[in-house]
Amino acid sequence: MALSICVAQLNPTVGDWQGNLAQALAAAAHAHAQGHSLLVFPELFLTGYAAGDLYARPRFLHDAAQALQQLQEASTQWPSLHILISHVEALDPQTPLPPDTSTLPPASQVVSLLREGQRLGAWRKQTLPNEGAFDEKRYFLSGIHHHGQPDPVIEIAGMRLGILVCADAWKAEPAARAKAAGAQALLALNASPFTHDKPAARLRMARARTQETGLPLLYANLLGGQDELVFDGHSFAMQANGQTAGHAPAFEECLWPLRLAAGPDGLQWLSENDASGPISESSANSPDALRHHATWHALTLATRDYVRKNGFSHVLLGLSGGLDSALVLAIAVDALGADRVHAIMMPSPYTASISVDDAREMVQRLGVRYDEISIRETFEGFKHSLAPLFAGRAEDATEENLQARIRGVMLMAISNKFGGLLLTTSNKSEVAMGYSTLYGDSCGGFAPLKDIFKSEAFALARWRNGHTFGLGPANPIPERIITRPPSAELRENQTDQDSLPPYEMLDAIVRLRMQEEHSAEQIIAAGYPAERVAQVFKLLRISEYKRQQSAPGPKLSARSFGRDWRYPITNRYRD
């Protein structure tokens, strides 16, 4: 006999009770029609994950309870279907304070099992992450501190299944506790954001739990973009021996069926309609190609969801004829379609004719709406107005920044008039160094490249030009855009390397500083020139005020500029 399970790898929106509930009801109807006995939702599906201080609002918690009640009542429509759903639940004010705690958090994370109008049980998340993008201890009380918390085990069709909620699976104790309570398999409900190293890390984690417990494990993950977080789905099942049995697709919604059956050595997974067979940790594709593939799909999903979930009809961006704006344009078209993208070229006296030519060629390839607005007269008008005040002073970065700010004003005016979301094109290298103009080219509501180093952007552009399956038009970026030396084109014969180290060196130094927390001395000892290290450290430090005013962008690395980077603006510390 086998237990038929459906994993609802779906894309909720924070606070969209009716939309999330509608998805849950549709998934339950599908699961019942297909004869499944258990429907599993990822972590905090009903509320959406990363709701921040909404978790502390009594009305939000009340509405969460109402949504759960509606799902519970609707479950009478699907006899014999068990629904495992994760949600938030307000704490009873009389709950005893945990040791070494002065205030009670407002809620706890709960997993409820529903069937035929009944709530058969409720289990609370035990391990609360509190680093990087996570601050769950601010909002939730661990299930460890709930008196009378039942063993995290459910029984369906004679099979005993242990429940783990995301971070619970990354520790040995919750899985061991479930096994000690009689679990024969583990169900891990997750809202695990994507980073480049996360898929492999999840497999390592799952393999550790299966080897420690001797139990098979199901990893059900959330999907979708939520501000700077990107949830990639990629749910999977792992046998007790640590071998993957199958997986759902990455970066796609699905209702993934699989079965749990008795085998000669205990329960084992039988995957149905697997996305592409067992997850392979080696591939005929190169590691770089696999990374670029995942990066591109993460960027398009994040951009699409930010636009859709925030109610924008279309996007616009300033096209310069350079790499970053070209890459953002290609991402936007793949994410939304050409009919929802507006590119605007704003040449100045310093814009090269080949920049305009390359911009025109790219928009022709992609078929997006395109407009050109010269800023020459506006720029001269500003200089004329400021001439009395600037008399006797040579032109410098002030006049360069004026051009960027004129473009920012024009783009924001178009955004205001027509209601589109302005995408900013700054990459991680520029964000790190403050190599942008505040209220100029940094204008915008979303920054797709915020966690993409410039050196990575070149490789990503080449990858996109060589891949079309499931994406937009082929070869979207003209070759000259990729091969030309990068330039802001704000003065004659300008290149980025007039102001910055070569990008390969710059990006390596920033990685060592951000990811490894290396000191200047350690980085110099690794072979980087002392003067370049000092330059990067100084620019990184003094640009904090710009970063704290920058648009959000998708987090793809282990440490990005956003929730992971929390340095003060006023800061005299030097290391």
Give me the catalytic one of 6, 136, 166, 450. 166
Give me the catalytic one of 6, 125, 179, 456. 125
Rounded Cα distance, 5 and 151, in Å: 22
Residue pair 533/480 in contact (Cβ under 8 Å)? The answer is no
131 catalytically annotated: no
Residue pair 59/206 in contact (Cβ under 8 Å)? The answer is no
Query: Tokens 């004829």 — which residue?
Result: 321
What sign results for the dihedral spanned by CA atoms 490, 351, 328, 312? positive
Rounded Cα distance, 11 and 337, in Å: 20
Query: Tokens 């919750």 — which residue?
Result: 174
443 catalytically annotated: no
**Reduced to 3 states, what is the DSSP secondary structure of residue 441?**
coil
**Reduced to 3 states, what is the DSSP secondary structure of residue 316?**
strand
* Other C-beta atoms lying within 10 Å of the C-beta of residue 462: 14
Residue pair 486/504 in contact (Cβ under 8 Å)? The answer is no
Residue pair 82/39 in contact (Cβ under 8 Å)? The answer is yes
Q: Which pair of structure tokens corresponds to residue 281?
A: 């940790």
- φ/ψ region of 534 (left if φ > 0, alpha if ψ in -120 to 50, else beta) reads alpha
Give me the catalytic one of 43, 136, 430, 489. 43
**Reduced to 3 states, what is the DSSP secondary structure of residue 312?**
coil
The helix/strand count (H/E) of the chain reads as: 16, 19
Please report how the helices 198-213 and 172-180 are oriented relative to each other, as an axis angle in degrees rounded to 10. Answer: 40
* Other C-beta atoms lying within 10 Å of the C-beta of residue 374: 13
Strand ranges in 60-147 using DSSP code E only, listed in sequence order: 82-90, 107-115, 118-124
Query: Tokens 């966690």 — which residue?
Result: 451
Query: Rounded to 10 degrees, what is the CA torsion of 180, 183, 189, 194?
Result: 70
- DSSP label of 18: H
Residue pair 14/47 in contact (Cβ under 8 Å)? The answer is yes
- DSSP label of 515: T
254 catalytically annotated: no
Catalytic residues, by residue number, are 43, 125, 166
